[in-house]
Structure 1
Amino acid sequence: MQRSRAQVALVFLSAMLPRVIGLRDFLTTDEAYHWIVRTERFAAAISEGRWADTILTGHPGVTLMWLGGLGLQLERAALGTGLIGPQDQLGHLAWLRLGPVFAHALLISFGYLLLRRLLPPYALIAALLWATSPFLVAHGRLLHLDALLADLCTLTVLSALIACRAARPLPWIVLSGLLCGMALLTKGPALIVLPFVGLTFFVETPRRGVSQRGVSRRFAWAVPRYLLWLGVAGLVAMALWPALWAAPGQALGSYLDEIVGNGGRANGDGQFFLGSSNADPGPLFYPLAGIYRLTPLESLGLLLLPLALWRQPDSELRTNALALAAFALFWALVMTTGPKKFDRYILPAWPAIMALSAIGLGALFEAIRQKAKGKRQNQRGFYLLPFAFCLCFQGLTLAWYHPYELSYYNPLLGGGRVAQNLFLIGWGEGMDQVGAWLSARPDIGDGQVLSALPPTLQPFVPVPVQPVSALDSTPANYAVAYRESIQREADPARYGRIQTTAPLGTVTIHGIDYAWIYQLPKPFATPLPARFGEGLRLRGYTLAQEPSRLIITPSWDVAGPVGGDKMLFLHIYNLGGERVAGIDVSPGGGSYPPTSQWQPGQQIAVPLPIGLPAGLPLGTYRITLGIYDPVGGARLPLAEGPPASPAMAGGDALLLGEVTLGTPVSSGNLEGGR
């Protein structure tokens, strides 16, 4: 008994720790857009007795919102007692995530107890893999549905299998129905469990002493128990979703609409598979996605599974393993028939796959133990070695990838570096690093930021974040190209304009380029394309005139390394070619570093004032611009743009345009280089 409790505690901690540490890391798209608000509205509807208002989505997400509401109550209690201060959005989300995280640890621990009845020699390894698989941990840390659905569906199937073998099946049938009811309230695909459990009751009936020769006797055993199971599931759903009391037609209608209208169509935002945008990735998607989500240890167990089952002397254990394999395969096949595909949609098959992997690993460890038998004095220590090895291997993997378990892909297949060219990647992870990069920029306050999925970035930057669609209507300074938007080919025209320059920064996590950060062109009044050398492009400029000076603001695009610290001259000439005013300054003025520190992709616009001499005669004057090396005076070649007269301004000088001076004029009087 003491060992059993210690093992349950081990499983609980193995599931809890990687999920609970660092919950205020980043927001996923669905959390930012949906689940935070839904959880708050659900909790408010419950507290105020507005039962019909608990219909917030057709998923329906009821169990998740109950658990998120538990975290919400804990947050409010902590606030009320002064344990914490007011929370920002990330802190608030961390509290909401806490309820589901605690539920995962409890459900996985309970799953271990069920596995002990079905796969006794391998139950602990199976539960530890369930607790520590990066794919499950990645989604189990979130305020989201799929990992919770995985736990509940798996427990439903495990309880149903035990019911077919137990001397008293009734408690297990009730338990399985209870778990199924909660699964149905989590997400519509739980309906897949219904035919599987019914078929399980029918196929496994002979194990309860019913003659294998009579199909009618199988039906006689299976049908009433299945109806009881369905009844319990329905009662649980009714009890936990108040909308079914107040507005059952509306609740069921939203449930069915979600299944047909959302799940029955291709993803409206697009998909990506095997290097191209594709509305329906097809039948290869889930097998390939699943292989890439395995760790090397899990992969080894699955490779050894056929041999382990072939050599397994316990026929009942072998049957149980085949039943779990059938469930995983059945789930994947049903999900494959739908056009909308994400790798997380096969999470409900994952605990069963982990159990199968555990059989292969367990057989390997047993073979090693038998070979070493008699050579070791400490047999108890050797008994613990397989569990310690699994925990260490999986734990080190999780520690390396934390908190970006979503970026885990099988290193045996090239990891994230290869996977980024095969699968749609990016659900909000990495936006925290984008925000940190942007917040460190000295000019972050010069304008807003454009990005896909703005709510996932907004908590990390001190300026407003707008969608990329606002490119033509928002005075933006930076734009973020997020991988999933590029893969989906979202808004290609605007992204094409954003990506005309080199990215100023790239966020790479575990080999995956998640985001490219571009600085948008600085505004200018007069377009004048020009280029000095290979690295410095002029987009245009703005001119403002004051009584005693001109202020010219060139808009620079740093296309490549400028090569050392350069100087800029702005000279004003009369029509006779006589220089009447000018300045020689660093192109960045006093607010930007010297050109040797300019980065490719940087956009720079610094006002440069030119003092005008008193009594300047009224007339038309020409403005020239050039870039030169202060050591020796050699000018950067003017590779593009209208040149000024060499006799007037020397070689490699750009003619900005002409301006009337002597009396105040508007900037509209300037004619650029014609």
Structure 2
Amino acid sequence: MSKSTWFIYPVIFLFALAPRLIGLQQFITADEAKWIYRSAQFWQALLVGNCAETMVTFKPAVTTMWTGGIGLWGYNLFHDNLPFLEFLHVIPLWDVNPAMLAAARLPTILLSCGSIVLIYHLSRYFLGEKTSFLAAILLAFDPLFLAHSRFLHHDALVTLFAVPAVLFAMHVDRLEVCPTWSIIFSGIFAGLSFLTKSPIFFLVPFVLWLFMRNATLNTIHTALTRFVLWACISYLTFFILFPATWLRPIGVPFDIITDALQVAQTSTGTLEQANKFDEDDEMDFQVSSRADLGILYYPVHFGFYISPIVFIGLLLFGYSHATLFVGEGLGRGALSLSLKQLRWGATKIFLIFIISFMIFMTFSHKRSARYILPVFPFATLVASVGWMRCGSNRTSLLVVALAAGQILTVMPYTPYYITYTNPLLGGSFTAPKLIKIGWGEGMDLAGAWLNQQPYAMANIVGADYASTLKPYFIGRVANPTSADLDYVISYHKQRQSLPKPILDYQSRILSPLHTVHYMGIDYAYIYSAPPIYPIDSKTIIAFHPDMNYLPIGQEFTVDVIWHELPPADVMFYMQEGDGNLMAESTYHMLSANVTRHMLVVPDTITSKEYILFINDISLGKYRARQVVVPSHFTSTNVQFGDEIRLMGFNPNLTIHDGSITVDLAFQVTPKSWHDYTLFVHVIDDNGNRLTGYDALPNPSTSQWLKGEVIIISQTVPMPKDLADDDYQLRVGWYHAGTGQDLGDGFELLTMPQ
């Protein structure tokens, strides 16, 4: 490097850094909350000297947890400022605040920017200054690499370690440098790769091939010696940075490789099962709205995630080489190619890595586009060669134009770079039909809409990617099939795996309250609860009730989705646990395979659980709830604080010998945040309490459900020596722990003498 070009390094770094710092708090991917928690586990074990417990996962993702822990240390330093070990101990699973998320991501971002600079530096020898600079800018703004290098995850990390490992290994054959140093640095980066993700053990045979590819009988010993040195350096790096190996130097690598083989065959590794963490890895099976790609899975995903400039550059590179064989087209002179370059040029090594790594990953039972992220830097290098050989006369202008084009391509997706799909292949129109879409992006926008709804803090939302919604929603997030939900989010990626009848029902019959739409794709559909419940039956696929409880005295409706046409006679009914039939229903057809059933819940039943049936197929237990004030009650609308409302009362008191009983109807509005004590007092005209009774209701107020009317019968003792006079019944609530009243008491009625 000449002194006049030193500034290129910080320029590349800053170009790479700028788009990665935008909107770091805006959304969280499906796995990042887990990796923040795992980083905390790793660092806790590290700081207390428990080496065995640093084996948090078999991925092994050690570098992910190192970088995550460094980010957490920085966050704690500037926010909580607790003793670091104490801070790590209180980090919850699946629940991360956006500021902590941004801090945990930052080390990966800085490493990614540094790696792009290093790739530029190492590729200059093979490709030249301008071509390498173009490749660096294209990589800095490569949509998929840009997206993942902003996440606390291992796919970008394994990429930024594996690519320099290969490039350093390619430098071993340079005559003007000491091969030992290239071997050492390649080994260090390979060791970091092995610490990050087990499939990158692919580097072992690949680097062996690199060292052996030009070996002869006279030099094969040298090549093997270099490989052994490389392997030793790789293992030494692995050993130093992974404390679990200090106790089991051979056992830990063996377990990681064994688990990787098991995961490739069965999709779930042993330690993952023990930890019960749901990975966002996808299985390559036939689903309703996405084609089964088979062995074309990775080529298709690769095509959809590279930029148009890289896509065209690869085509130009391929075309330029094809013309050398047929002697047509652009010709040898225009492309300045030689047969020597064609045979064993650096670009051929890059292409061999791209093709062989995608083939290698295809054998795995678990597949995801991000698994082949290490091929994308090599693709930008090859594409840059393709472009530069076509514009050899005005290379500087071409570099500027292509860099600007790459930046303009990706900037509209800021900061949701992960939503990019290649417009040359149809972009957002064709991508959902062929590849899985969505890894949590858009859930922050769903949370923003939910926060604007009435009583948002008290609402419960069901979502598959719960950890992607929690940081952005002020209410509670639960499993999408939980009871007592207020809203349900149907996310695009899950919708792509739905059976076609359920997807048709969602699309044609249900109407979402809100749809999160971004860059041509509907990422999240928000519906009123309850959700659609799948069912294990030969005839029924799923059912969808209109409520998650049985409204006493009201109509209850359920839609049933059948595999095919429903039988001629369909019965929908409810039973008590002892088998007594409580109610039957009527129904009509909504579509060829969907029936809607309606029954009136008897007003004589009590608030307990009943079983619903379609013919002899159980739909599960549902609790009956009082949702309206009984007709013989006097209606009121008295609010106690912002939490409890008196809906009505029975004006006919029940008079006993020495006591009276009053029936009260309450409802939470929409939630009681504490357990309050109910009081019913008898007061005189001066407001003096003469007698009364205070009690915690059962269930307690914090357990009351939104919309349910709670009938409480409160008995008040009456003194025998009470003078004949007009007295008032005062009703109210207070917090027993603090003595604080919940609003003002209410004079319910004047008691008869």
- TM-score of the aligned structures, taking structure 2 as reference length: 0.64
Aligned 8 A contact 1:184 1:191 in 2: yes
Instruction: Give how far 1:437 is off.
Output: 1.2
Unaligned runs of 5+ in 2: 269-278, 325-334, 530-545, 558-585, 591-596, 602-626, 638-669, 671-705, 710-753
- Residue number among 392, 399, 407 corresponding to 1:366 in the alignment: 392
Greater Cα offset, 409-418 or 191-200: 409-418
Partner residue, 2:148: 139
| CA–CA separation in structure 1 for the residues paired with 2:599 and 2:386 | 64
Aligned 8 A contact 1:444 1:477 in 2: no
| CA–CA separation in structure 2 for the residues paired with 1:338 and 1:277 | 23
Greater Cα offset, 244-253 or 115-124: 244-253
2:524 counterpart of 1:515: yes
| CA–CA separation in structure 1 for the residues paired with 2:373 and 2:240 | 26
| CA–CA separation in structure 1 for the residues paired with 2:5 and 2:503 | 60
| CA–CA separation in structure 1 for the residues paired with 2:633 and 2:526 | 40
2:430 counterpart of 1:421: no
- Residue number among 146, 166, 182 corresponding to 1:172 in the alignment: 182
2:571 counterpart of 1:545: no
- Spell out, residue by residue over 1:406-455, the C-alpha distance to the aligned partner (whole angstroms, 9 max, x if none): 11000122212321121111111111011111111125356311111212
| CA–CA separation in structure 1 for the residues paired with 2:635 and 2:140 | 68
| CA–CA separation in structure 2 for the residues paired with 1:489 and 1:362 | 46
Q: 1:216 to 1:278 in 2, by over 3 A?
A: farther
Partner residue, 1:235: 236
Partner residue, 1:619: none
| CA–CA separation in structure 1 for the residues paired with 2:457 and 2:507 | 19
Partner residue, 1:197: 207
- Spell out, residue by residue over 1:243-289, the C-alpha distance to the aligned partner (whole angstroms, 9 max, x if none): 11023355235412430222333479754678647898421111111
2:340 counterpart of 1:312: no
Aligned 8 A contact 1:31 1:144 in 2: yes
Instruction: Give how far 1:463 is off.
Output: 1.4
Report sequence identity in percent: 30
Letter paired with 2:143: P
Unaligned runs of 5+ in 1: 206-214, 370-382, 553-590, 592-603, 608-674
Q: SS state of the match for residue 506, structure 1? A: strand
Instruction: Give how far 1:218 is off.
Output: 3.9
Superposition pairs of residues 23-172 of structure 1, within 5 angstroms: 23-32=24-33, 34-79=34-79, 89-120=97-128, 121-167=130-176, 168-172=178-182
Aligned 8 A contact 2:239 2:249 in 1: no
Q: SS state of the match for residue 266, structure 2? A: coil
| CA–CA separation in structure 2 for the residues paired with 1:449 and 1:77 | 33
Q: 1:39 to 1:93 in 2, by over 3 A?
A: same
Partner residue, 1:392: 404
Q: SS state of the match for residue 421, structure 1? A: helix
- Residue number among 171, 194, 217 corresponding to 1:184 in the alignment: 194
Greater Cα offset, 94-103 or 242-251: 242-251
Partner residue, 1:575: none
Aligned residues: 525
Q: SS state of the match for residue 479, structure 1? A: strand
Partner residue, 1:219: 220
2:360 counterpart of 1:334: yes
- Spell out, residue by residue over 1:494-518, the C-alpha distance to the aligned partner (whole angstroms, 9 max, x if none): 9969995311111111111111110
Q: 1:119 to 1:146 in 2, by over 3 A?
A: same
Instruction: Give how far 1:339 is off.
Output: 2.1
Letter paired with 1:330: S
Aligned 8 A contact 2:290 2:436 in 1: no
Partner residue, 2:667: none
Q: SS state of the match for residue 263, structure 1? A: helix
Superposition pairs of residues 549-628 of structure 1, within 5 angstroms: 549=634
Superposition pairs of residues 277-316 of structure 1, within 5 angstroms: 281-309=293-321, 310=324, 311-313=335-337
| CA–CA separation in structure 2 for the residues paired with 1:456 and 1:292 | 24
Partner residue, 1:430: 442
Partner residue, 2:373: 347
| CA–CA separation in structure 1 for the residues paired with 2:340 and 2:98 | 48
Instruction: Give how far 1:178 is off.
Output: 1.0
Aligned 8 A contact 1:243 1:251 in 2: yes
Aligned 8 A contact 1:45 1:51 in 2: yes
- Spell out, residue by residue over 1:343-373, the C-alpha distance to the aligned partner (whole angstroms, 9 max, x if none): 1111111111110000111123324x2xxxx
Partner residue, 1:469: 481
- Spell out, residue by residue over 1:213-251, the C-alpha distance to the aligned partner (whole angstroms, 9 max, x if none): xx4224222111111111111111111111110233552
Which structure dedicates a bigger proportion of its chain to strand? 2
Aligned 8 A contact 2:161 2:193 in 1: yes
Which structure dedicates a bigger proportion of its chain to helix? 1
Partner residue, 1:527: 555
Q: 1:450 to 1:249 in 2, by over 3 A?
A: same
CA RMSD of aligned residues (A): 3.4
